Amino acid sequence: MRALRRFTVRAQLPEQLAPLHALATNLRWSWHPPTQDLFARLDPDAWERSGHDPVRLLGEISSARLAELAADAETVVTIRELADDLAAYLSEPRWYQGEREDDPSLPAAVGYFSMEFGVSEVLPNYSGGLGVLAGDHLKAASDLGVPLIGVGLLYRSGYFRQSLSLDGWQLEHYPVLDPQGLPLQLLTDRSGAPVLVEVSMPEGRTLKARVWQAAVGRVPLLLLDSDIEDNDPDLRGVTDRLYGGDQDHRIKQEILVGIGGVRAVRAFCAATGHPEPEVFHTNEGHAGFLSLERIRELSAAEGLSFDEAVTAVRAGTVFTTHTPVPAGIDRFPVDLVRHHFSDRLVPGVPMDRVLALGAEENPNTFNMAHMGLRLAQRANGVSKLHGAVSRGMFGGLWSGFDADEVPIGSVTNGVHGHTWEAREVTELLGDPTPGRSGAPATEPVSDATLWALRGALRSRLVDEVRRRVRAAWLERGASAPELGWTDHVFDPEVLTVGFARRVPTYKRLTLMLRDPDRLRDLLLDPHRPVQLIVAGKSHPADDGGKALIQQIVRFADDPAVRHRIVFLPDYDMSMARYLYWGCDVWLNNPLRPLEACGTSGMKSALNGGLNLSIRDGWWDELYDGANGWAIPTADGIDDPTRRDDLEANALYELLATQVAPAFYERDGGVPTRWVELVRHTLDTLRPQVQATRMVREYVQDWYVPAARAAAEIVTDDFAAAKELASYRARLNTAWPLVKVGGVDASGLPDTPVVGAPMTVRAAVDLAGLDPADVCVEVVVGRVDDSDELDDSVSAPMKHVGTSDGRDRFEAIVPLPHAGLTGYTVRVLPAHPLLATHGRVVGPG
Ligand SMILES: *Cc1c(COP(=O)(O)O)cnc(C)c1O
């Protein structure tokens, strides 16, 4: 008989074991090996059955076993010690508290909004890199003591589970999660009643959501859940799936996470006394509606005009963009936005102003990234290269600026070391100490020991591969007696290459199949074979991606190679871990520059894996010639087929002539050259790829300046917000009429040599603006035949007087280059409150 509905009954623990509850529900266990070991010891079989899920484990242990454990003094002591350790972790001052003591302008709290969070496989609320990054951000913030509040949605089915049909086609399953069986606690108000967040929907309806809290170490994560009886049946489904439905479904999700998310934060702070966020960070544009809610709040509570409220909200908002793929930008039809944004949803926020915030080239489209940039005074990409690509991609929002001056910076992503590093690595090398230069961590470790460590991790991976290959074939319909061969797939001594990631086109899952014979030769080489693990999910609506997976699966099904190449279905955090630990080489071959950062290669590097990658994302800035290999990219080649051919060819060449020889060349059983690469990777990359390095950068360069700007803007009854809004209004009227008149370089030296001073004078019609409202600059650089300035330097010009109704400006600049030189004069808006990283504007 099938159950109609299922639910979870939580275990009643004997008093001596009561602290297990806190240890199981705070997700800190997921990066704390001693706590994991405790759970495994309570009941090893139940621990396996539960899929290493402490909440499920506690439900599975029999009462008899619980009584036995309660009577065991050693177990009880260990539980108490670990509970004390957790309590100390949660309350002791950490890095942030030290910083804040020196500088009270550090924000009391930061709201971090994201559509997905990948904290642990026991809370499957993510689809890929974006979510796992958000999870790592929360964990690193917790380790550093940064007072973040995470905000997202709780999906009833999370992302789908992947399996394969017999002919290699991706099948999707959506297991239904019961929040009661997850490490979550319902948010209640001070009277103990569940908090219900409400947002208005079209046709006079209301969407309600309860709020679940997950504890990610010290960081609370609030997840909104619409699946409650108070909602109309269709609205109950708003949080059913991640990236599941159509645009209408999607905009409802984004309204809930953004507008409902701010309301959830307010309720959380009211109920718990937690300080209110001073800074709001939107991880990608999906939650961008949160700023509209904050504009509404300020208009209602402080009587600010829309423009004044925008100014105030911008000051405290940080926006991180994650995709350089134009098709990856979140967009809605304008009519759909119009349909949802009524005066009931965000009273007092005018519709035409909302629409203007999301305007883009296509007048029928509302662009969430554009709104994110217009409502955040600080914006960044996720690697240096991605920052540069974003400045080009969004440069149109800052007219008059060269791409390299567009105020979008970058913070290179990082990964949470304690989550992704095998415990043996941490035991051997200790904690990485980012930023501090000491002796290399591997210095006391011999080549033989490092090599043995890599061998142990590879061996564990091979066991996991065999287990998963067998399970996958059983699911595809094979019977156990035909699967004897799966006990012998892979070899713990063979060079192991991993390729696992989502399957959008730009990641080029099948590049390795460009020349199947060459791949086969590499796998079957009698002396220097390679074994290859491939994994990844395709978006359920993307048949193109599923066809790529099928190509790989068909190739790997061939009995001639199936012991050397596998496609493992259902890539998720629980599988990923084994791959990052055990693969010798981590392969990545995206179409440059479409990989914004990429983080899986960083996780491999934590464990001494060597990256073999196109120089894209993080690898473009951290590849140093001795920590892996760069696959040459044929960037300039427009014909995609030819480009794939060239890059695939380079990949085969590298594997055959560089990678495999270094791995198989032994000296007394140890591949000395290989170990040197591993050593260098562990010593230099391991500290740099830490999420704590990333979170510190966000704190120092983004959250603190945003908190200061936000604080400045509210003082004296929002005087600065009002001043800035009125400045913007003046600017908007005058700007189109501002003209640079006569430019005169009579001060050009007689014989111009590099460094000689040149005097430039300009007369500017400011159309009623004050000279202090603008910055007039001279820009000098090389010119080509088209007079396009390149390699230029700019210098501010001084206001030296007024004549004929025009303001006169002057500057003396040293000539920066030899050769053909040109110059121009430009006018930029300038206001002390607008400064971002030395630049002076926000997007129009
Ligand atoms: C790290 C991680 C990703 C992201 O990897 P990329 O290199 O950014 O593609 C995706 N899925 C899981 C399970 C991960 O752990």
At 230, list the tokens.
């108070």
The fourth-level CATH superfamily of domain 446-631 is: Glycogen Phosphorylase B; (3.40.50.2000)
Q: Are 219 and 141 in contact (CB under 8 A)?
A: yes
pLDDT-derived band of residue 492, with 50, 70 and 90 as boundaries? very high
781 neighbors 822 (Cβ within 8 angstroms): yes
Mean pLDDT of 750-754: 80
Burial 490-507 (b: 16+ CB within 10 A, else e): beeebbbbbbbbbbbbbb
pLDDT in the model for residue 5: 66
Per-residue HEC secondary structure of 220-283 comes to EEEEEECCCCCCCHHHHHHHCCCCCCCHHHHHHHHHHHHHHHHHHHHHHHHHHCCCCCCEEEEE
Please report where in the chains the tokens 């914004």 appear, as a residue.
596
| pLDDT digit string, tens, across residues 518-567 | 999 999 999 999 999 999 999 999 999 999 999 999 999 999 999 999 99
| Averaged pLDDT for residues 767-775 | 91
Identify the residue whose tokens are 């290493």: 52
* Ligand 1 center from residue 572 Cα (angstroms): 8
Most informative mutation of 125, 126, 127, 132 for ligand 1 (most atoms within 8 A of CB): 132
Q: How confident is the model at residue 11 (pLDDT cuts 50, 70, 90)?
A: low
DSSP classification of residue 61: S
CA 507 to ligand 1: nearest atom: 9
| CA distance readout (Å), 324 to 75, 330, 387, 527, 596 | 52, 12, 9, 42, 6
Residue type, 473: W
Centroid of ligand 1 to alpha carbon of 587 (angstroms) = 13
The one-letter amino acid at 423: R
Atom of ligand 1 minimally distant from the CA of 588:
7
Domain boundaries, the chain: 15-90, 107-414+698-715, 446-631, 738-829
Which pair of tokens denotes residue 40?
């495994």
Q: Taking the C-alpha atoms of 117, 329, 164 and 168 in order, what is their torsion angle to the nearest 10 degrees?
A: -150
d(CA 65, CA 78): 17
CATH number at 738-829? 2.60.40
Measured from the CB, is residue 573 less than 6 Å from ligand 1?
yes
Asked if residue 754 has pLDDT above 60, the reply is yes
User: How far is it, in rounded angstroms, from Cα 530 to Cα 523?
Assistant: 5
What number of other Cβ atoms are within 10 A of residue 87's Cβ? 13
Residue-wise burial string across 683-696, b where 16 or more C-beta atoms lie within 10 A, e elsewhere? bbbbbbbbbbbbbb
Instruction: Identify the three-state secondary structure at position 797.
Output: coil
Three-state secondary-structure class, residue 170 = strand
Please write the tens of the pLDDT for every residue from 232-279. Answer: 999 999 999 998 889 999 999 999 999 999 999 999 999 999 999 999
Alpha carbon distance 301, 830 (integer Å): 30
DSSP 569: S
DSSP for 541-554 reads T-HHHHHHHHHHHH
Distance 782 CA to ligand 1 centre (A): 43
Burial status of residue 795 (CB atoms within 10 A of its CB: 0-12, 13-18, 19 or more): middle
Q: Is the CB of 162 under 6 A from ligand 1?
A: no
d(CA 296, CA 298): 5
Angle, helix 33-42 to helix 73-91, in steps of 10 degrees: 150
pLDDT at position 756 is 85
Give the position, in ligand 1's atom list, of the atom nearest the Cα of 573.
13
- Nearest CA to 320 among 580, 590, 698? 698
Query: For residue 734, what are the CA distances in angstroms to 329, 773, 774, 836?
Result: 33, 11, 11, 23
Residue 839: beta bridge partners?
836
Of residues 283, 254, 216, 273, the one with CA closest to residue 358: 254
Determine the distance separating the centroid of ligand 1 and the alpha carbon of 2, expressed in angstroms: 36
Nearest atom within ligand 1 for CA of residue 571: 13
State whether the beta carbon of 132 lies less than 6 angstroms from ligand 1.
yes
d(CA 381, CA 393): 11
642 close to 634: Cβ distance less than 8 angstroms: yes
Residues contacting residue 627 through CB under 8 Å, at least 6 positions apart: 605, 610, 611, 677, 680, 681, 684, 685
pLDDT band of residue 9 (cuts 50, 70, 90) is low
Q: Are 780 and 793 in contact (CB under 8 A)?
A: yes
Q: Quick one: which H or E segment has residue 740?
A: strand 739-747
How many angstroms is it from 599 CA to the middle of ligand 1? 6
* Helix (H/G/I), strand (E/B), else coil: 389: helix
Question: pTM for the whole thing?
Answer: 0.94
Kindly provide the residue ranges of all beta strands, DSSP E only, lying in 103-153, ordered along the sequence: 110-113, 148-153
Residue nearest to atom 1 of ligand 1 (CA): 600
User: Does residue 600's CB lie within 6 angstroms of at least one atom of ligand 1?
Assistant: yes
CB 564 within 8 A of CB 524: yes
Q: What type of residue is 348?
A: G
Is residue 657 classed exposed, middle or buried when 0-12, 13-18 and 19+ CB atoms within 10 A define those classes?
exposed
Q: Which of 291, 306, 296, 298 is closest to 257 using CA atoms?
A: 291
The dihedral formed by the CA atoms of 277, 281, 286 and 288, expressed in degrees to the nearest 10:
70
Residue nearest to atom 4 of ligand 1 (CA): 129
Is there a cis peptide before residue 593, judged by omega within 30 degrees of 0? yes
Does residue 365 or residue 783 have the better pLDDT?
Answer: 365
Q: pLDDT tens for residues 244-256?
A: 889 999 999 999 9
Q: What angle do CA 128, 184, 177 make, to 5 degrees?
A: 60
Q: What was the pLDDT predicted at 816?
A: 85
Is-contact 181 148, C-beta < 8 A?
no
Q: Which residue, by CA, sits nearest to atom 15 of ligand 1?
A: 573
Q: What is the pLDDT of residues 651-675, one digit of tens each?
A: 999 999 999 999 999 999 999 999 9
Distance between CA atoms of residues 225 and 152, nearest Å: 9
CA of 714 to the centre of ligand 1 (A): 40
Instruction: For a ligand 1 pocket test, name from 119, 421, 501 the mutation site with the most ligand atoms within 8 angstroms of its C-beta.
Output: 501
Q: Return the structure tokens found at 350.
A: 């005018």
Task: Supply the pLDDT for residue 804.
Answer: 85
**Is the CB of residue 295 less than 8 Å from the CB of residue 350?**
no
Q: Residue 405: what pLDDT? A: 82
Distances (CA, A) of 767 to 670, 698, 770: 75, 40, 9
The mean per-residue pLDDT over the stretch 280-286 comes to 96
Which protein residue has the closest C-alpha to ligand 1 atom 5? 600
Q: What share of the chain is helix, strand, coil (3-state, %, to 5)?
A: 45, 20, 35
Does 296 contact ligand 1 (Cβ within 6 A)?
A: no
What confidence tens digit (pLDDT) does each residue in 691-737 have? 999 999 999 999 999 999 999 998 989 898 898 888 988 988 888 89
Q: Are strands 205-216 and 196-201 parallel, antiparallel or unpaired?
A: antiparallel
- Looking at residue 66, what is its pLDDT? 95
Neighbours of 94 (CB within 10 A): 16
Q: Which CATH number fits domain 107-414+698-715: 3.30.450.20, 3.40.190.10, 3.40.50.2000, 2.60.40.1930?
A: 3.40.50.2000
Q: Token pair of 668, please?
A: 């007394």
Q: Name the residue of 126, 595, 600 to mutate for ligand 1: max ligand atoms within 8 A of Cβ.
A: 600
Q: 749 vs 178, which has greater pLDDT?
A: 178
Classify residue 811 as exposed, middle or buried by CB count within 10 Å of its CB (0-12, 13-18, 19+): buried
Percent of the chain clearing pLDDT 70 (strictly above): 97
722-741 exposure pattern, b = at least 16 Cβ within 10 A, e = fewer: bbbbebbeebeebbeebebe
Q: What is the mean pLDDT of the chain?
A: 93
Half-sphere CA count of 658, side-chain side, radius 13 A = 18
Q: Would the CB of 595 count as within 6 Å of ligand 1?
A: no
Cα–Cα dist 128/507, whole Å: 13
Intrachain domains 107-414+698-715 and 446-631 with the same fold: yes
Higher pLDDT, residue 280 or 820:
280
CB neighbour list of residue 165: distance below 8 Å, 6 or more residues apart: 171, 476
Mean pLDDT across the stretch 281-293? 97
> In the 3-class helix/strand/coil scheme, how is 478-533 assigned residue by residue?
CCHHHHHHHHHCCCCCCEEEEEECCCCHHHCHHHHHCCHHHHHHHHHCCCCCEEEE
Q: Tell me: the pLDDT tens digits for 56-72?
A: 999 999 999 999 999 99
Name the token pair of 404.
Answer: 């390299």
Cα–Cα nearest to 163, from 171, 154, 153, 174:
171
The pLDDT of residue 436 is above 60: no
Q: Which two tokens stand for residue 327?
A: 């098709």
